[in-house]
Structures are given as structure tokens and as C-alpha cells.
Structure 1
């Protein structure tokens, strides 16, 4: 008995000693590691890496930027059955333990002793939160001990539901999906609340090994894992036996669903991305900002399509440049052809294809198209393909398919009928699906070499409603709308004419459209400017000179106004003059402006003469949905602007220099730091602008812009523009609400062809866009200001006619109206000008 007692005491002492050692060691570990552990309160401040999302003003997704796909949600938005699926897979006793599951740890220890490895880990959901938010993924004892300590702290300071919410928003579930909401979108294209039980179980199986149990990469293993989780849910009482059996029998429905943008607006998206990075740095990609732009989705899509269609139409007029490559197709299977096509990029809506057969008797060519597979290209889609020789010369019209393509040619095509997509454009870009029973029909196409831009502004506010900076952003990131400095040609003339109207020259003033020669010692030969027609038309009223775009009149007008005076007036309109010449070629638009700068200046005319500051970002929201920036409202100011500006500054702490896309350097304070209003001053006399509107509407009714009559509206004004040798072509048009500018030309300036003008290249693009932009809108004409008079004049002299004489009505500022004729007046002269003034304009 005494021996047994001594043995018992020895065992007890050994146990106490071991326990004491364990407590000491544990305490030592705790005291050693505790100072380096982060406070749990950081969890409440951690920003999950959430991508930047860009939306149109009507809430259509334009772009998403960021490495990780994530859409944080609250636990209330997650169905209870989905929560139970994750607990069944990862931590069935989550709501029972205190952060550490002793049974799980014991199981992990046994695995370590028996196999030499920790296989299951024994981690609870709380421990995984600690690891995912604070620790590395190294499988070491130190990391595990830190994990346990942090889990205990987390459980003391946070509620269970909050811990589970953090877990479900952080976990990686494969295919760039972080968090359950992003995974539901990636695999099933649904919100979490709409998932089936089988789909919920599939997602719950991913955290253990996102690659091994991925339903896209390993469907068999993923299905086994899903069914095991369904069994666990049944055994835990989460679901019924019938529900389990139905879910187990459910087919695998996962597929890869990329973030689908709803608008083709890559140039706009890049402008927004660049501005957000300027404001917030690299955090813009990870802090979950939502940017709402000023663009309208319908107008933006119309702008993208109108520009592409117009550039393609120009390109077809100048012929087919031949295949982009050549392949030996002998013995190649469809799969091989599909893989070869992956070497050629998609561009916009154009797809690369290889010609596999040319059949002149049937009038078709058979092609293998990337993403579509075997397709048919009828000859009637190739009739445009005369061989390109120069911009002014093409070969004969083709008569059969073999005149255009040959077997092995790699060409671009456009689908004309739908077909079952080939697997070649799935996530892994493989070409291993069977082709559609009926092959697709495609049309021959080619990527245009010519480029262009379109900008449409809300005239009163400067909001960008649509913008396209080129044919394809994937092909060229160069944004021609904002970066290309080109000669505006005759689209510059309205600003010259507005300057003249402000100086008292009237639409009835007569100028001579006659030859003029300038000798300049800096030029090798004398400058002999001429009209685009090569003809001269004699004495011409200023109104007619504008709508017929008479160059010689513009030169004489600039000579009268003075070059420096005109440059000063351009500065008054805030038109950049750094790249303007200080000679008479200025009158013909030989300076340089970007399409955006020209569109902004056009908006000044459109809105009646007020300043315009183009802007793109309407608002910015943070990840919590709080608006941290909103574009200022616009106030148009005629008088007492300084007083109004002071009032605005006193309430916002800013001044007129505050613009929506240049301030807000500090995160979270931008809404308070930027102006809530912008005061836009009057830059031009409203009566002069009103008269110019009338003159520019005549460009549409009677002049070079007559093609725009197809819109069937009487509120449209505009101006075509074509530079020397047709290197740049333009159309700038507007009504009182919207101003739109289009440009077409080569990136490296070169002639577009002798038959190409602004009316044939740029105006059709403008017209296609404005047909959509103006649909359903009321006519918008600038209200007639006070101080305007209508006078009947003689169209030959510009003078007021005597009572009873025939004439036409013209509008004038009151002080510039031609005086009544006396009985002794012989009718010579014009527009109330003195005889010497008339002589100077005529000769």
C-alpha cells in the first residue's frame, strides 16, 4: 500500500512539475510573443483590397481596376444556409468554442506525431481570420502560437457574427476571387442570395485548397468535396436528407464569369483611372473606390461605334491592303488552326481568321475564325476590296473571291451572323469545342490605319457626355481626344469671326474673295492662298463667307483685325495660343489644338459665351458608400462675378481655381475641400455669340455642313474643317445644350486623299453620334438677347434697302446696324462702312 502511495505521489509530482513547466513555457512564449502581436482593434480599421470600379452616370459598369476581385458584404446579406455550409466545411463548433478548438488541435497534434506533418491544421475560423489578416502562411510552431493568441484576443473583443463576416470577405476562393460575393459572381454570375444549395456547398469547399478543389480546374475533386460538405451539413442537422440528396444529384454548373463591362469606353476608363491614381496613389486600386463619371452610357456607346464605323468607311474607300499574314494550312486540324489564330489579336469587333478554301463557283471563301471556328465569307462582303495603291488610287473592282483572298491568307473579319462560340476564347484560350452545326457568316474587314477622335460636352457645365480617343484602345493607348495636337483648319474660323463681330464688323460686311499674294523673305516662294475649290467669287458678305468657308475672306478679315489683337481675343476665350502662328495663316487654322481644346472652345460658343471647364468625374464614393467627392455645380455669371465668387469661396473655403479634376489631394477630405460651385464668367458678348449662332446654322442649311440636315432639326449649327493636303479633317457642331467635335487624320500627318474633306470624313461620324445624342430632346436654340435688331439689306452691298426695295433680312447689334439711306445716297458701300473701309476690304 505504501509503495502504491509513493508511486501515486511521484506521478502527482511529475504531473505538477510537467504542468508547471508547461505553464512556464507557455507563459514565456506569451510574454515573448505578446508585445509583437497587433491589436485586434486594427481589424475594424483594415481596408480589404477591393478594386476600383468606374461607372457611367446611369450606373453602367465601364471598367474595374485592381489585382483582386472583391465585393465586401455584410453577414446579413448572406443566407444562413451559406454560413452553415462554411461552418460544416471549416469549423462546425464555431459558435461554441472560444476561438480555439481543443479537439481540433489535439487531432492536429496526433497527425504530426503519426505522420510527421500537420495535415488538417486544427484551425478554427477565428484562427484563420487571425492568420489571413495579420500573419504569414508559414507552417511553423511560432506562427501557430501567434495564431492561437490572436484568436483568443479576437474572440474577447469581437462578436461571433463580426468574426464570420471578416472571414467570408477575406478568404481566397480561386480565380482572383477574394471573398464569397466575388466568388459567387466569378463561378455562377449570381449574387450570394441567389445560389442553390449545391452551389453554396461548392463555394464552401474552396478555402481548404482553391486550386485542388476548383470546379473549373478539377471538377471531379470539386464535386467530391462538395458532396462531402453536403453530407456534413446533413449530419450536423443543417439540412434535411431530401435536400442533401437533391444537391448531391445536382450537375456541376460552375463556369468562369469575368467582370463584364457594359459600355465600350476604354479611353474614358483610362482617363478616370489616371485621375484616381493622381488623387489617391496606388491605394486607388485597392481601397474600393467607386467612381461615377459624367458620361451617358447610350451616348458613349454611340460615340465609340460612330467613330469606328466612320474610320472603317474611310478605310474601305481607299482599298484593301492585303492579308496580315500567311499560313500553310495543309494537314492542320481545326484545333491547330484555332491555336495559330491566338497569335493574332482581336481588335475592337474584328477577329483574325485564316482562309482555308476559296471557291469562285460558289462565290465564297471558307475561313477559320478565332473564337468562332469554321465560318463562311461570302463574296458580297469583299466587293469593296479593290487593291490599295495610294491614298488617291485603287485597283479594279474584284469580280470573284480569288481576286481578293487566297488559301492561307490571314485576314480580319467581322461576324455577320451569330454562331456557337469556339472554346478558343474561354478563360484558357483553348480551341477544343465542336463547331456549330451551321457555320457563322463573316465579312472581310481590315484594321484602319487612319485614326480619329470624338468629344461631346454638355455646353453649360462642361461635363463630358461621350469621348473616344481612337479606333481601339487595345491597339493604341494614345488618346487623340486629349493628346493629339492638330491643325483645326476652317473649324478655327468661327472664333475669328466672333472676334470680328465684337469689333463691330457685321454679317453684312462685304469682303472680296479674290486672289492675294504675300511675299515673305522667310519663304522660298510667295504665299498664294486659295479656296478649296481653287476658284474665287468676288465681293462676298461675311455670313456667306463663313458658310461657304472662303479662305481669302478670312485672311483679309484677320488682316483688318490685327494678328496680335486676334491672339489676345483667343486668350480672352481661354483658347491656348502657345502653338498659334503670328502670321496671316492663323486665319486658316494653321495653329495647333487638341480635339478637347477645340470642343471646349466650341462649347463656349454653344452656351452663349460663358467659360467652360470640361470635367469627367461626377462623384467618388469610398468602400462604405460615403460620397467623398462631388463635382461642383456650375453658375453662369454675367455681372458682379467677383462678389459671387467671394460668396462661394466663403461657404466652401475655395476659389474659382478649384476644378473638379484637379483638387482633392487628401483622401476623405476632398468633398469638403473642393468647391461646391464653380463660377463661370462670361467671355464673349452674348449678342455677338447669338449672331454667330445664326451664321453657323447657315453652314448646315446652305453651306459645307448640309449633310447634317439629315437630323431634321433647325437648332443645329456647326463648321467643317480641312487643312492643307487634307491632313486633318474636322466637324464641330452644336445646339445650345450640347457641343460635339470630331477629328479624322493619320497619327503621323499625311494626306487623306484629294477627295477627302471634313464633310466626307468627320461629319458622318458626328452625324451618327448626334442622331443618338439628340434623340427625344427638344430643340435648343440660344435665346435672343436684348440689343439685337433685324434689318432688310441689299445682299449685294450689305446696305440697308430703301422702303419698297427687295432685300434680305440680316441681324445686327443695335450699334452696328447700317444707317438708313438718304435720298442722295447712291447705294455704294456696305454695312454702314466708310468708302475707304470698303476699298481696303475689297482690294
Structure 2
């Protein structure tokens, strides 16, 4: 007995010694590690890495930027079965333990010994939260001990539901999906409340090994893992026997789903992304900002399509440049053809295809598309394909398909028609399309010419639509905001507005006659001409503008003086750094970006007020807090000093911000409640008269194609530079100003017959048909101090009684004097003849 007692005492002392040693070691480790452990409160302030999302003003997704896909959800938004699926897979005693599950650790050790692998895992959900939010994934004892200590601390300070919510929003579930909601979208394209039981179990199986149990990469192992979780759910009483048997029979339905943009606006998205990074740094990609832009999805989609269609139309007019590649197709299966086509990228809506057969008798060619497989290309879609030789010369019109393509040619096509099943009539059975019916496609090619379109709200400067080129994926260069090009005759309205403010009138006459300028710096004399090559004699400024007479503009600029005109441009806030200081300025030989020109036209459109283009309407944080709201724009005259006083300090903050490409934001985030006060830059009477002159560009001049809109509130100006290298059209009503540019990135002639009216105006017209559809006419209010007087268009003077004449607008103080009653003959006295002579020559 004494021996047993003595032995028991020894074992007891050993146990106490071991326990004391364990406590001492644990205490020492705790005291050593505790000061370096993070505070649990930080979990509540953690910003999950949520994507930057950009939307149109009608809530259509334009783009999403991030390295990780995540959509945070609250515990109340998650179905109970989904919570139970994760508990069955990861931590069935989550609501019972205190952060560390001794039974779970024991079970994991037993599974490891008996099967060689761990099915359920030893870490609790709380321990995984500690690891995912605070620790590394290093497999070390110190890291594991830190994990346990943090789990105990988290359990003491946070409720279970909060811990579970943190876990489900942080875990990585494969394919760039972080968190439950993102995985639901990625694998099933569903919100979490629409998942089936089998799908819930499939997602719950991913945290253990997102790559090994991924239903896309390894569906067999994923199915095995899913069914094990369903079995655990049945054992734990979460689901019934019937629910279990139905779920394990369900097929694997996972697929890869990306959130597709609803608006084709890559250039706009890039402008917004760049501005967000400028303001918020790299956190813009991770802090869950939601950006609402000023663009309208319908207008933006129309602008993108109009620009692409216009550039393609120009390209077809100048011929087919041939195949983009070629390979031997004999003996290749459909799958092999598709594999070979992976070497060629889709550009916008143009799809690469290889010609597999050319049938001149049937008048068609058979092609194989990279994604759609076999398709038919009818000869009607190839008739445009004269062979390209130069921009002004093409070969003969093709007569049969073999004149255009050959077997093995790799070309671009556009889908014309997809196979479809015709709808039944009067409840009759639907007519099934033949099983072998192929899509119909048309021959296409990627345009070499480029362009841009910008549409602004003329009253506020808000960008309603913008595209900076044919395809952003092909070229990131944003021609709308970056391309500095010569505006050509679209510059003339600013020259004429300067003239109207400096004593000239629409009836002022200048001579449209040859003129020669000698310059010692030039090898030859400069002999400017009109586009027609003809000269038309004495011409009023109104006719000179709507017919775009170059010689009239040059003489006008010489009369005003280049320095006067440049000063006026600065008054209008039009950049003059790249403007010449000679008479070539009259022909638009300076350089402006399409954005700068569009902004200038918006100033004319709104009646002469300053506006600045902006793109971002609002910025919200992930919780919906608004951190920026575009301020209201107020157009004011001389009585706006009081408004300016309230705006003064915040405007200083704006001025100190670095300039941004494309003029994206109108003000800093601190100015949310301050209006943008925009002063008048031009005399409203001069602007009103210019409106009427530019309306004549549409009614009687170079922009007559715009009459197709059947609106009387449209004004505009075409533009074509020397050698037809750049072509433009800028047009507006009182509410909307839209500018289109077309030209090569490396300036080169566009070819014979290509002018602003043939390249840019059709794009503008296609866009404005939609942009103005259903809107009321918008015209500038006629200001006080304008009179209409009947004049003799040959002299610009008042018409005599009984004499043919036309009505013209004048600022009251500049109206022609009445003719003396005794005057006869040519309708002017000697003094007026001398003045007329000065104006002509």
C-alpha cells in the first residue's frame, strides 16, 4: 500500500511539475507575444479589399477595377443553410467553443493518423479569422500560438455573429473571389439567397484548398468534397434525409462568370480610374469606392457605335487591304482551326475568321470563326472590297468571291445574322431552324483611321458621352483628351465671334479674291485658296462663315490683327500656347485637343458662359457615404460677385490641385456644397448673332447633311485642314454641344473627297439623332439690343425702298445708318465708298 501511495505521489508530483512547467512556458510565451498582438478593435475598422466600380448616371456598370473580387455582406443576408454548410465543413461546434476547439483538434489529429489527411480541419473559424486578418500563412509554432491567443481574445471581445460575418467576407474561394458573395457570383452568377443546397455545399468546400477543390479546375475532387459536406450536414441534423439524397444527385453546375460591363465605354472608364488613383492612390482599387459618372448609358453606347461605324465607313471607301494572316487548312479539324485562330484577337465587334471554302457559283465563302465555328460570308458583303492602292486610289470592283479572298486567308468579319427559331403564329408549332444552319457574316477590316467624339451638356460642362478611338483594347491613346490636332475651319467661329465683338457685323464685306504672302522663311510664297479652288469676290461675313471661305477669314484676321484675336481666345479660355501668331491662324493651323474644341463650342452654345468639362458626378465609399458630389453649375453675368465671394476660398483649393488629363473633376471633394460659378466670357448679343450664322452652315452651307435631323435649333461648323489630314464637325443646340474628329494618328492625307462633311459629320449625325430624340427644341433666348434690318447683300448697307434685300441681325449700336433720301445710284455716298474699299482690300 505504501508502495502504491509512494508511486502515486511521484506521478502526482511529476504531473504537477509538468503542468507547472506547461503553465510557466505558456505564460512566458504569452507575456512575450502579447505586446506584439494587434488589438481586436481593428477588425471592426478593417476595409475589405472591394473593387472600384464605375457606373453611368442611369446606374449601368461601365467598369470594375481590382485584383480581387469581393462583395461584402452582413450575417443577416446569408441563408441559415449556407452558414450550416460552412460549419459542417470547417467548425461544427463554432457556437459552443471559446475560440479553440479541443475536440476539433483531437478529431483532426485522429483523421491525420487514420487516413493520412485531414477532412474537417483543426482550426476553428475564429482561429481562421485571426490568421486571415492579422497573421501570415507561415507554418510555424509561433504563428500557431499567436493564432490561438488572438482567437481567445477575439472570442472575448466580439459576438459570434460578427466573427462569422468577418470570416465569410474575408476567405479566399478561388478564381479571384474573396468572400461568399463574390464566389456565388463567380461560380454560379447568382446572389447568395438563390443558391441551391448542392451549390452552397460546393462553395463551403472551397476554403480548405481553393485550387484542389475548385469545381472548375478539378470537378471530381470538388464533387467528392461537396458530398462529404452534405453528409456532415445530415449527421449534424442540419438537413433531412430527403434533402441530402436530392443534393448529392445534383450535377456540378459551376462555371466561370465575370461581371460584364453594361456600357461600352472603355475610354471613359480609364479617365475615371486615373482620376480616382490620383485622388486616393492605390486604395482606390481596394476600398470599395463607387463612382457615378455624368455619362448616360444610351448616349454613350450610341457615341461608341457611331464613331466605329463612321471610321469603318471611311475605311471601306478606300478599299480592302487584304488578309491579316494565312495558314494551310487542309486536314485540320474544326477544333484545330479554332486553336489556330487563338493567335488573332477580336477587335471591338470584328471577329477573326479563316476562309475554308470559296464558292463563286453559289456567290459565297465559308469561314470558320474563332468562337462561333463555321459561318457563311455572302458575296454581297464583299462588294465594297476594291483593292487598296493609295488613300485616293483603289482597284476595280470585285465580281466574285475569289476576287476578294482565298482558302486559308485569315480575315476579320462582322456578324450579320445569327441562326434563330421563328416564332409560332396562332399557337402553331414553332418552325425549327435547320440543325446545320450557320451564322451569316460580312467581310470587315480594322480601320487604320482614328477619331474621337465628345458630347457635353452645354449648360454645365458635364460629359454626356465620349469615345477616344476605335478600340481601347487596340490603342489606349485617348484622342479625345490627348490628341493635339489642327482644328481647320472649325476654328473659324471663334475668329468670327472676335470680329462681332470688335465692331464687325454679319453684313461686313470682305473680298474673296486671290492673295499672296511672301515670307523670307518660306521657300515659296503662300497662296491660300478655298477648298473649291475658286474665288467669289465681295462676300459678307455671314456667307463667308457658312460657305467656309478661307480668303474671307484671312482678310478678316488681317483686319482684326492676330494679337487681338489671340487675346480674345484667352478671354474665352481657349489655349493659345500652340497657336501661330500669323494669318494662318484664320485657317485653324493652331493645335487643340478635341476636348478643348468641344468645350469652346459649349461656350458658344450656352450663350457665352464659361464651362469646364467634368466626368465624375459622385463618389461613394463602400458603406454608401458620399465623399464627393459634383457641385451645381451656376452661369452668371456681372451680378455674381456675391456668389463668387462664397466660392472664393474653395476655388483656391481647386486651383491648387494638379491638372488632370481630360478635365475629369470640376472641384475638390471639399467643395461639395459650393456651386461652381461660371462667368460670362462673351457678349451675349454677339453670341446670338453667331448662332444664327452657324445655323446657316446647316441650312445653306457645308453642314447641310445635318438637315436630316429635321430640327431648326441646330448650328455647327465643318472643318478640314490643309491636305485633308484632319477633319471635324462641331455642332450644338442651346443644351448640347458635340464635336467629332477624324484623322490618322500619324498625320497623313485622308484622300480625295474626304472632308469634315463626309467623315466627321455623319458620325455626329448618327449620335445626335439619338441624343436629341424626344427633346424639345433648345435655342438661345434673343437678348435685348439686337435689331433686324433689311440690307443689300451685295453692299452690306441698308436696302433702299423697292430694292431686293435680305434681313440681317445687328447689335443696335452697329446697325447700318439709314440712307439719305436724296441719295441715289449705288446706295452709298463717297465716304461710305471709301469705307467699303477699305473692307474689300
Equivalent residue number for residue 635 of structure 1: 634
Shift of residue 360 of structure 1?
A: 1.0
Between 1:329-338 and 1:304-313, the stretch displaced more is: 329-338
Which digits, 9 at most, give the CA deviation of each residue in 1:226-263, with x for residues without a partner?
A: 22222222222222222222222222221111120001
Q: Structure 1 pair 838/290, CA: closer, same or farther in 2 (3 Å)?
A: same
Shift of residue 670 of structure 1?
A: 5.8
Shift of residue 603 of structure 1?
A: 0.3
Matched, 1:406 2:415: no
Distance 1:467 1:84 in 2: 49
Distance 2:404 2:435 in 1: 26
Equivalent residue number for residue 819 of structure 2: 821
Q: Is the 8 A contact 1:506 1:831 kept in 2?
A: no
The structure 2 residue matched to 1:764, chosen from 758, 762, 765, is: 762
Shift of residue 783 of structure 1?
A: 0.6
Distance 2:124 2:828 in 1: 94
Distance 2:514 2:121 in 1: 92
Distance 1:90 1:223 in 2: 17
Matched, 1:518 2:517: yes
Gaps of 5+ in 1: 421-434, 664-668
What SS is found at the alignment partner of 2:417?
Answer: coil
Distance 2:653 2:131 in 1: 49
Distance 1:244 1:318 in 2: 66
Q: Is the 8 A contact 2:69 2:178 kept in 1?
A: yes
Equivalent residue number for residue 460 of structure 1: 459
Q: Structure 1 pair 653/307, CA: closer, same or farther in 2 (3 Å)?
A: closer
Q: Is the 8 A contact 2:514 2:535 kept in 1?
A: yes
Equivalent residue number for residue 836 of structure 2: 838
Equivalent residue number for residue 779 of structure 1: 777
What SS is found at the alignment partner of 1:54?
Answer: strand
Q: Number of residues paired by the alignment?
A: 823
Equivalent residue number for residue 105 of structure 1: 105
Q: Structure 1 pair 111/145, CA: closer, same or farther in 2 (3 Å)?
A: farther
Q: CA RMSD in A?
A: 2.1
Distance 1:523 1:672 in 2: 53
Equivalent residue number for residue 438 of structure 2: 439
User: Counterparts of 1:264-303 in structure 2 under 5 Å?
Assistant: 264-303=264-303
Between 1:13-22 and 1:64-73, the stretch displaced more is: 13-22
Which digits, 9 at most, give the CA deviation of each residue in 1:670-702, with x for residues without a partner?
A: 633566211101000000000000010110011
Distance 1:653 1:447 in 2: 45
Shift of residue 108 of structure 1?
A: 3.6
The structure 2 residue matched to 1:789, chosen from 783, 787, 790, is: 787
Q: Structure 1 pair 463/302, CA: closer, same or farther in 2 (3 Å)?
A: same
What SS is found at the alignment partner of 1:17?
Answer: helix
Equivalent residue number for residue 28 of structure 1: 28
Shift of residue 512 of structure 1?
A: 1.3
Which digits, 9 at most, give the CA deviation of each residue in 1:19-68, with x for residues without a partner?
A: 11111111122112212211111111111111111111111111111110
Equivalent residue number for residue 555 of structure 1: 554
What SS is found at the alignment partner of 1:374?
Answer: strand
Q: Is the 8 A contact 1:315 1:449 kept in 2?
A: yes
Distance 1:660 1:457 in 2: 23
Q: Is the 8 A contact 1:654 1:674 kept in 2?
A: no
Equivalent residue number for residue 424 of structure 1: none
Equivalent residue number for residue 136 of structure 2: 136
Shift of residue 743 of structure 1?
A: 0.5
Distance 1:833 1:748 in 2: 53
Equivalent residue number for residue 170 of structure 1: 170
Equivalent residue number for residue 19 of structure 2: 19
Q: Structure 1 pair 339/283, CA: closer, same or farther in 2 (3 Å)?
A: same
Distance 1:577 1:649 in 2: 26
What SS is found at the alignment partner of 1:790?
Answer: strand
Shift of residue 486 of structure 1?
A: 0.6
Q: Is the 8 A contact 1:830 1:838 kept in 2?
A: no
Equivalent residue number for residue 423 of structure 2: none
Shift of residue 132 of structure 1?
A: 0.6
Q: Structure 1 pair 832/474, CA: closer, same or farther in 2 (3 Å)?
A: farther
Shift of residue 286 of structure 1?
A: 1.1
Equivalent residue number for residue 713 of structure 1: 711
Shift of residue 841 of structure 1?
A: 2.2
What SS is found at the alignment partner of 1:574?
Answer: coil
Which digits, 9 at most, give the CA deviation of each residue in 1:388-430, with x for residues without a partner?
A: 001111000001111000111111111112269xxxxxxxxxx
Q: Is the 8 A contact 1:655 1:675 kept in 2?
A: no
Q: Is the 8 A contact 2:50 2:285 kept in 1?
A: yes
Equivalent residue number for residue 223 of structure 1: 223
Q: Is the 8 A contact 1:715 1:780 kept in 2?
A: yes
Equivalent residue number for residue 430 of structure 1: none
Distance 2:105 2:81 in 1: 26
Gaps of 5+ in 2: 421-433, 662-666
Matched, 1:359 2:359: yes
Equivalent residue number for residue 450 of structure 2: 451
Equivalent residue number for residue 596 of structure 1: 595
Shift of residue 147 of structure 1?
A: 0.8
Equivalent residue number for residue 573 of structure 1: 572
Q: Structure 1 pair 465/658, CA: closer, same or farther in 2 (3 Å)?
A: farther
Q: Is the 8 A contact 1:617 1:660 kept in 2?
A: no
Shift of residue 591 of structure 1?
A: 0.6
Matched, 1:182 2:197: no
What SS is found at the alignment partner of 2:790?
Answer: strand
Shift of residue 111 of structure 1?
A: 5.6
Distance 1:307 1:41 in 2: 53
Distance 1:118 1:228 in 2: 13
What SS is found at the alignment partner of 2:200?
Answer: helix
Q: Is the 8 A contact 2:653 2:668 kept in 1?
A: no
Q: Structure 1 pair 659/37, CA: closer, same or farther in 2 (3 Å)?
A: closer
Q: Structure 1 pair 833/37, CA: closer, same or farther in 2 (3 Å)?
A: farther
Q: Is the 8 A contact 1:798 1:831 kept in 2?
A: no
Matched, 1:700 2:714: no
Which digits, 9 at most, give the CA deviation of each residue in 1:591-613, with x for residues without a partner?
A: 11000000000000000000011
What SS is found at the alignment partner of 1:835?
Answer: helix
What SS is found at the alignment partner of 2:641?
Answer: helix
The structure 2 residue matched to 1:798, chosen from 796, 799, 809, is: 796
Shift of residue 803 of structure 1?
A: 3.8
Equivalent residue number for residue 676 of structure 1: 674
Q: Structure 1 pair 222/480, CA: closer, same or farther in 2 (3 Å)?
A: same
Distance 1:617 1:830 in 2: 58
Shift of residue 826 of structure 1?
A: 3.4
User: Counterparts of 1:528-567 in structure 2 under 5 Å?
Assistant: 528-567=527-566
Q: Structure 1 pair 546/568, CA: closer, same or farther in 2 (3 Å)?
A: same
Equivalent residue number for residue 153 of structure 2: 153
What SS is found at the alignment partner of 1:416?
Answer: strand
The normalised TM-score by structure 2 is 0.95
Distance 2:45 2:170 in 1: 14
Shift of residue 203 of structure 1?
A: 1.0
Shift of residue 824 of structure 1?
A: 2.5
Shift of residue 371 of structure 1?
A: 0.9
Distance 1:107 1:324 in 2: 63
User: Counterparts of 1:256-267 in structure 2 under 5 Å?
Assistant: 256-267=256-267
The normalised TM-score by structure 1 is 0.95
Equivalent residue number for residue 427 of structure 1: none
Q: Is the 8 A contact 2:265 2:301 kept in 1?
A: yes
The structure 2 residue matched to 1:728, chosen from 726, 729, 740, is: 726
Matched, 1:609 2:608: yes
